[in-house]
Structure 1
């Protein structure tokens, strides 16, 4: 008897956690969809609150195909924006830093020793 109670609790825990994953996926998809009006988004959220399982099931059946497309588009957008933001964070490349230091050396702003120090920092 005790074993079956534990097994039953585990089953319900898995069902509840699965529902939470579906709920968060639906809410994320709602706010990701640009074609859906704000009022329709609010209606879906209200129904998710008051009739959660039925609304989640209807949403997955009615808009499930679009969820995959919007998810793929969001992943592609994130992948495209990642290199640009990394380039901004990285700043100049080592060759750019060496070229800038070389220009300073030729202008007489820094000495040869300072140029060698900047070059070694850029290559490190």
Structure 2
């Protein structure tokens, strides 16, 4: 054995703490960076050039860009996120209403097919069939 062998007890507890702290800070930094980038694209009040400028500033000088962005526009970040969540909830509820309403009501084609079957069995006269058909097609 010519080289050094590092065993777990060669790594001090304080070193493990600092390593975990740096990993935590790095993850938090990535989280903040992504939130800012998403907020830049989410904001409908900014023009395309303003979005490009902020994005370039945040990506070229990330620490300074994030700091300045949070100072300048951080107050409204929460408002934009709440507005987006409300819009998504409204769209979801609208989709549910449309889907639920469509599932309970048969289509015109299905109703006409059932009406034709009833007429073919002889349960409806031609006159009753025409009235029911006009009612369905209205």
Q: Answer whether TM exceeds 0.5 for this pair.
A: yes
The alpha carbon displacement at 1:93 in A equals 3.3
RMSD (CA atoms): 2.7
Give the distance between the partners of 2:66 and 2:55, measured in 1 at CA: 10
**Residue deviations 1:20-66, cap 9 Å, x none?**
11111111110111111211211211221221112111111211111
What CA distance in whole angstroms lies between the structure 1 residues aligned with 2:103 and 2:56? 51
Task: Note the residue ranges of structure 2 that are not aligned, 5 or more in a row.
Answer: 1-10, 122-138
Q: Does 1:2 align with 2:12?
A: yes
Task: Classify the secondary structure of the residue corresponding to 2:63.
Answer: helix
**CA-to-aligned-CA distance 1:70-121 (integer Å, 9 cap, x gap):** 1111111101100222344556233x24xx867654x242699xxxxxxxxx
**Equivalent residue in structure 2 for 1:109, among 117, 120, 124:** 117
Query: Could you say which structure has the larger radius of gyration?
Result: 2
What is the TM-score of this pair, normalised by structure 1? 0.72
Aligned ranges for residues 91-106 of structure 1 at < 5 Å? 92-94=102-104, 96-97=105-106, 104-105=113-114
State the secondary structure of the residue aligned to 1:42: helix
More helix by share: 1
Which residue of 2 is the match for residue 37 of structure 1? 47
Tell me which residue corresponds to 1:56.
66
Structure with more relative contact order (C-alpha pairs < 8 Å, separation 6 or more): 1
1:19 aligned residue: 29
